[in-house]
């Protein structure tokens, strides 16, 4: 599933093609994804100028003139490509084409169709049901040890499950929680209510480092993340634990990385390094 670094990579790649550009048409090839597309979706977007693109957690927010905001979530398997010439015939999972006046096609592909593509008015963005409960952006100043500790201590969850909760911190998923807990030396089985201020400080610092490194690497390509230009992300080569079950821990070189299931999701960790 695309997490914050993958979505940020997509945002940065789309920006030069979309900012200050008019959408000439939008083609949808089905009625919706996780939810139906808005009524007259194509008509509402066609002819509108895109002002800018931002990201909130795992959501892309594309601001257009007339106070319109296009909200995109890549779900489990969503993927966006920029196509400029020799545009291929759409495949089975190419559900939407956004075509700009400059002749660029932004193609949304999503085999599992858990993605979300919808519209909102700018004035209602902060209170939008998909966005209003999202916690602080981990790379912003709103994310700090005091805020994190308060949120963690208020919940009776394992630290792994707590950090996956988008209300506690925005944008993290299985990969970056596993890697951040490893580098912080915190067992994923520890209860979030027992995380003190020192560990919270360490977590904030490490989460920022891991996300920044991952963004700089263009995200992680495991099954389907590609950058919009088709190139791969390469942060997967810097993983310490994710997907490495059965391999000797590269840090302590004493025990093998374990995989456990927590709340239905895989967790990878070193039982020697992480306590
Ligand atoms: Zn270890």
- Please report, for the chain, the start and end positions of each structural domain, with discontinuous segments joined by +: 4-124, 145-269
Quote the CA–CA distance of 223 and 175 in Å, as a whole number. Answer: 13
CATH 2.102.10.10 fits 4-124, yes or no: no
CA of 246 to the centre of ligand 1 (A): 12
Q: Read off the pLDDT of residues 10-34 as tens digits, 9 standing for 90 and up.
A: 999 999 999 999 999 999 999 999 9
Q: How far is the CA of 251 from the centre of ligand 1 (A)?
A: 5
pLDDT, position 195: 96
Kindly tell me if the per-residue pLDDT of 223 is higher than 80: no
The CA-based angle 162-164-165, given to 5 degrees, is 65
Q: How far apart are CA 104 and CA 168, in angstroms?
A: 37
Ion ligand 1 nearby residues (CB, 5 A)? 249, 251-252, 270, 272-273
Using CA atoms, how far apart are residues 161 and 174, in angstroms rounded to an integer? 9
At 26-71, the pLDDT tens digits run 999 999 999 999 999 999 999 999 999 999 999 999 999 999 999 9
pLDDT-derived band at 142 (thresholds 50, 70, 90) equals very high
Ligand 1 center to 184 CA (angstroms):
12
| Phi then psi dihedrals of residue 207, to 5 deg | -60, -45
Is it true that 4-124 and 145-269 share their CATH fold? no
Answer yes or no: is pLDDT of 200 > 90: yes
85 pLDDT tier (thresholds 50, 70, 90): confident
CATH 1.10.8.50 fits 145-269, yes or no: yes
Task: Place 225 in a pLDDT band, splitting at 50, 70 and 90.
Answer: confident
Distance (angstroms) between ligand 1 centre and the Cα of 149 equals 25
Encode the chain in three state secondary structure.
Answer: CCCHHHHHHHHHHHHHHHCCEEEEEEEECCCECCCECCCCHHHHHCCCEEEEEEEECCEEEEEECCCEEEEEECCCCCEEEEECCCCCCCCCCEEEEEEECCCCEEEEECCCCCCEEEEEEHHHCCCCCCCCCCCCCCCCCCCCHHHHHHHHHCCCCEHHHHHHCCCCCCCCCHHHHHHHHHHHCCCCCCEHHHCCHHHHHHHHHHHHHHHHHHHHCCCCCCCCCCCCCCCCCCHHHHCCCCCCCCCECCCCCCCECEEEEECCEEEEECCCCCC
* Cα(252) to centroid(ligand 1), Å: 4
Please list the active-site residues: 2-3, 58, 265
| Mean pLDDT of the residues in the chain | 96
What mean pLDDT is predicted for residues 105-120?
A: 97
pLDDT score of 227 more than 90: no
Distance from Cα 5 to the centre of ligand 1, integer Å? 25
Span of 79-93, 100-114, 165-179, 218-232 with lowest mean pLDDT: 218-232
Question: How far is ligand 1, taken at its centre, from the CA of residue 174, in Å?
Answer: 19
Lowest mean pLDDT among 135-149, 227-241, 256-270: 227-241
Instruction: Indicate the length of the chain as a whole number.
Output: 275
| CA 180 to ligand 1 centroid distance, Å | 14
Give the percent of the chain with pLDDT over 70: 100
Q: Helix 197-216 and helix 4-18: axis angle, to 10°?
A: 40
């Amino acid at each position: 599933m695309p997490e914050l670094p993958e979505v940020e990579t997509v945002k940065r790649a789309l920006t030069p093609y979309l900012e200050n550009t008019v959408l000439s048409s939008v083609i949808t090839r089905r009625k919706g994804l996780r939810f139906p597309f808005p009524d007259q979706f194509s008509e509402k977007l066609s002819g509108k100028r895109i002002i800018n693109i931002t990201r909130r957690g795992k959501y892309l927010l594309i601001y257009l003139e007339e106070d319109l905001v296009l909200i995109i979530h890549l779900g489990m398997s969503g993927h966006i490509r920029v196509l400029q010439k020799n545009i291929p015939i759409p495949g089975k999972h190419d559900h939407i084409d956004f075509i700009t006046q400059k002749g660029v096609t932004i193609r949304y592909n999503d085999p599992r169709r858990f993605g979300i593509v919808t519209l909102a008015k700018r004035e209602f963005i902060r209170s939008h049901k998909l966005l209003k409960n999202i916690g602080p952006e981990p790379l912003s100043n709103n994310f700090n040890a005091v805020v994190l500790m308060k949120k963690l201590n208020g919940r009776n969850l394992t630290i792994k499950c707590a950090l996956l909760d988008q209300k506690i911190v925005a944008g993290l998923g299985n990969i970056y929680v596993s890697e951040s807990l490893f580098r912080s030396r915190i067992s994923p089985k520890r209860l979030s209510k027992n995380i003190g201020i020192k560990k919270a400080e360490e977590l904030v610092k490490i989460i920022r480092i891991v996300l920044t490194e991952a963004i700089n690497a263009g995200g992680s390509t495991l099954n389907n993340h590609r950058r919009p230009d088709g190139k791969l992300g390469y942060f997967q080569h810097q993983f310490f634990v994710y997907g490495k079950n059965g391999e000797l821990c590269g840090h302590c070189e004493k025990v093998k990385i374990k995989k456990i299931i927590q709340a239905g999701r895989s967790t990878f960790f070193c039982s020697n390094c992480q306590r």
